A and B are shown apart, each in its own frame.
Chain A
Amino acid sequence: MLELRLVQGSLLKKVMESIKDLVNDANFDCSATGFSLQAMDSSHVALVSLLLRSEGFEHYRCDRNISMGMNLNNMSKMLKCAGNDDIITLKADDGSDTVTFMFESPTQDKIADFEMKLMDIDSEHLGIPEAEYHAIVRMPSSEFARICKDLSSIGDTVVISVTKEGVKFSTRGDIGTANVVCRQNTTVDKPEEATIIEMNEPVSLTFALRYMNSFTKATPLSNTVTISLSSELPVVVEYKIAEMGYIRFYLAPKIEEDDEENKS
């Protein structure tokens, strides 16, 4: 028996919107600690990891660990039927092959049930080791989204370089080049507008903007985004979900040109 009641239903909608373009089908894992998802995109270049801790739900009941395979597009379709202020309750019985979404309007005068078929998905669950990152940049998520959007109109890859001067996003395309530098800026009025750079050593990595852009779909979830970079690791783009958990996107870097040449 599984029953999760989320007062802030719009949050689940936003989560869905942020990952459905990246991943088609995924297993949602429910345990006593929370509701989580890990999935790779079809090309195995990016990985999304979602955690909604049980404390964030108004009511959380999960008798035994359960993994529910869902088609995210279908789930998104159902969640779109929920109003932004609705309370969403997720229900599943043990051994059942369906999950039920219940939407209650805030005034309790309308209650809708949507039952969705589950599917069997062979998931490849990856172990993500804890790592020390060379550089961690925290910046306003809208700013990051803007940069990715702008750069993707110029080129298709972005080079993110962190130095103590700041973080630089640059791209190059047929029509020209673009560089955006964000300096560390901690003295703004609102803490969420700050740009904070923690750097142990300078790092510069190349990523496909296409993926970055799909990560920024999570922008509505959080005012700030944290980008963690290490030269030997995938970048982590993390959006914190207030008081509940996080959604993290991992993206494998593009191999540097030089390496490529050496190999060939």
Chain B
Amino acid sequence: MAEIETLGILDEIQALVSDKLQVVSYKWLSRNFLVPSNTAKRLLQEFVEKNGTQLEVVYSLSGWLKNNPSAYHIKLILGSKLSEAKEEFSDGCSIQVYSVQACIPKDPAVLWNTEYVQAEELFKEPPDVVNCLRDNRFCGVSNSYVKRNGEGPPASSAAPPLKRVEICAPSRTSDTSLRQERKVEQSNPNPKPDEGKDIKSGSHQAQALKQDGKPVVHKEQVPQLPANKKKTGNDKSSSGTAGSLASMWGRASSKPKPDSASIKTENAVPISNDAQVRANELVEDESSDGDDGRMNFKRASNGEGSNRKRRVVFDFSDEDDDGKDAVNLASPDPPKKQVSVDSKKSTKTLSLESKNLDFDEKKEEKVKVEKEKVLEIVSKPTLKEESGDRKRGNPASNENQCPDKDERNQKDKVSDAAQNVLKKRKVLKTRIDERGREVTEVVWEDDEKETKPGDNTRKDKGDSNTANNVVNRPPAAAPKKSPAFGNSSSHATGKAGNKKAGTKDPKQGNIMSFFKKV
């Protein structure tokens, strides 16, 4: 059996040296394949005998020097200089293969780099993990009086003492060591995750040992956890980066606004992404926004990366409102919850808000011709408009996605000026907020017949005034639209708005916070 496995290892060495260009030293070999160091040296010797011509060999010579007999010397010598070096030693020096590699590295440190890294990893393992460094089981030098606490702390030492004794025995051949290994593992009825890691870290271990099912299962389980964690982490950061990337593009392009508005419809691409994905993105974006609860940076995820823009969506009622709104905006929850928050609101705020709205829209009319058109079409009192929005704005409904295509077409018509047929109308609202950012909102107007979720509808119809403001909040209406519609809206904001917003990337530190003015 030992023969077979050594053959396997020789192949592995071949692959490591010639394909990965790794320096394979006997220490590394011993730890990696869990063979005693002497066996590892022999393996290397064997390997060198077979393939010696194609690779560089570093020998370790140890013995007494001729010219300095008082000191025991250990020298690493290139294969080519072996014979000269031998001269320096007195008779009886030992010659062992230290390492094999494809070529001699310029920096000698590379010789022991891999094994150093390996040793470090082994040391870093939790203290209760048994590894070959801890119990020194592969060392060629052994002392039977030294008891190796091979199985670590009592927690995992379910193994009967007999086995410990076995482990204590000096392990000279790969055969015995392998057997021990296996026993250690089998004797552990409940390998802990840590131990699983142990197995994992010696990547070839499992292979070499041909373990039975149990440890393998654990091996699989253990990696899963970290993988998942990582994944979520990745998602977050990736969404974060995408956002700021968009902002940079936004900075770069500074087309006049009318242009972007007209491009709107052309660029809009029907999207079939499922709502779930978008919802996730929204959630992530919101959670990473930190800086201001009332502001949402939205990532419009359309198929075409180049169209991605960061979008700033502000709540209508922001100006006079407080914490409640912030909660609303930031919460990724479906509208139901918001409704509950709504009920707390007083009608007073509502009226205030509606005034604000009026103001915004006037401003906007000045700015954009197209918008004016749309507004004319709508030509309802602001409040009603809102209620329309509200009903439509239903984050949970996937139906929104399908109608979107139609709407886009219809949108075109709108700009042509044929309209009353429309079931939904898109209204762009742009204003400058108190921070000087330009904020564009896309609001859908549709007929009352449009599907509404139970809660929202009830609210709307019942206390039309009160409900209005809240349901209208971006989490429901505006953000929902943004994905489907993303291009248009984000274009508008992206160009002008992001120029400023980009510099205010909430994550970007400011140099002024590090250096003081003189």
Chain A residues within 8 Å of B, Cβ to Cβ: 40, 42-47, 124-129, 155-157, 165, 171-175, 184-188, 208, 210, 233-234, 250-255, 257, 260-261, 263-264
Once the chains bind, are A260 and B248 in contact (CB under 8 Å)? no
Once the chains bind, are A210 and B248 in contact (CB under 8 Å)? yes
Total A-B Cβ pairs within 8 A: 108
B interface SS class: helix
Residues of chain B lying within 8 A (CB to CB) of residue A42: 503
Answer yes or no: B117 CB below 8 A from chain A CBs. yes
Answer yes or no: B244 CB below 8 A from chain A CBs. yes
Bound form: Cα–Cα A213–B269 in Å:
32
Answer yes or no: B160 CB below 8 A from chain A CBs. no
Known: A127-B515, A208-B244. A264 touches B510 (CB 8 A): no
Answer yes or no: B8 CB below 8 A from chain A CBs. no
Pairs across A and B, CB under 8 Å, 27 listed: A40-B511, A40-B512, A44-B510, A45-B511, A46-B511, A125-B517, A126-B516, A126-B517, A127-B516, A165-B117, A172-B234, A173-B242, A174-B238, A174-B245, A184-B107, A186-B107, A208-B508, A234-B514, A250-B514, A252-B511, A252-B513, A254-B507, A254-B509, A255-B508, A257-B236, A260-B288, A264-B289
Bound form: Cα–Cα A45–B510 in Å:
5
Answer yes or no: B240 CB below 8 A from chain A CBs. yes
Closest to A187 in B: B106
Once the chains bind, are A264 and B241 in contact (CB under 8 Å)? no
Bitwise interface map of B from 492 to 513 toward A, beta carbon under 8 Å scored 1, else 0: 0000000000010111111111
Once the chains bind, are A233 and B240 in contact (CB under 8 Å)? no
Residues of chain B lying within 8 A (CB to CB) of residue A185: 106-107
Once the chains bind, are B242 and A261 in contact (CB under 8 Å)? no
Known: A40-B511, A155-B241. A187 touches B107 (CB 8 A): yes
A interface SS class: loop
Once the chains bind, are A260 and B290 in contact (CB under 8 Å)? yes
Answer yes or no: B347 CB below 8 A from chain A CBs. no
Once the chains bind, are A257 and B288 in contact (CB under 8 Å)? yes
Bound form: Cα–Cα A156–B245 in Å:
6
Once the chains bind, are A45 and B516 in contact (CB under 8 Å)? no
Bound form: Cα–Cα A233–B512 in Å:
11
Residues of chain B lying within 8 A (CB to CB) of residue A156: 241, 244-245, 248
Point out the residue from B237, B242, B244, B515 that lies within 8 Å of A257, measured CB to CB.
B237
Residues of chain A lying within 8 A (CB to CB) of residue B512: 40, 44, 124, 126
CB distance from B308 to the nearest CB of A (A): 8
Within 8 A of A (CB), among B407-426: none
- Taking A47-B515, A264-B288 as known contacts, 14 extra A-B pairs with beta carbons closer than 8 A to each other, sorted by chain A number, are A43-B508, A45-B503, A127-B518, A129-B515, A171-B241, A172-B241, A174-B238, A185-B107, A208-B244, A250-B515, A252-B514, A255-B507, A264-B289, A264-B291
Residues of chain A lying within 8 A (CB to CB) of residue B509: 45, 234, 252-255
Answer yes or no: B287 CB below 8 A from chain A CBs. yes
Answer yes or no: B305 CB below 8 A from chain A CBs. yes
Most buried by A among B248, B290, B515: B515
Closest to A124 in B: B517
Within 8 A of A (CB), among B283-324: 287-291, 305
**What 4 A-B pairs come out closest when comparing CB atoms?**
A264-B290, A252-B509, A43-B503, A126-B515
Known: A126-B516, A185-B107, A257-B236. A44 touches B241 (CB 8 A): no
Bound form: Cα–Cα A208–B503 in Å:
11
Most buried by B among A128, A156, A234, A253: A156
Bound form: Cα–Cα A264–B330 in Å:
10
Residues of chain A lying within 8 A (CB to CB) of residue B238: 172-174
Bound form: Cα–Cα A261–B289 in Å:
9
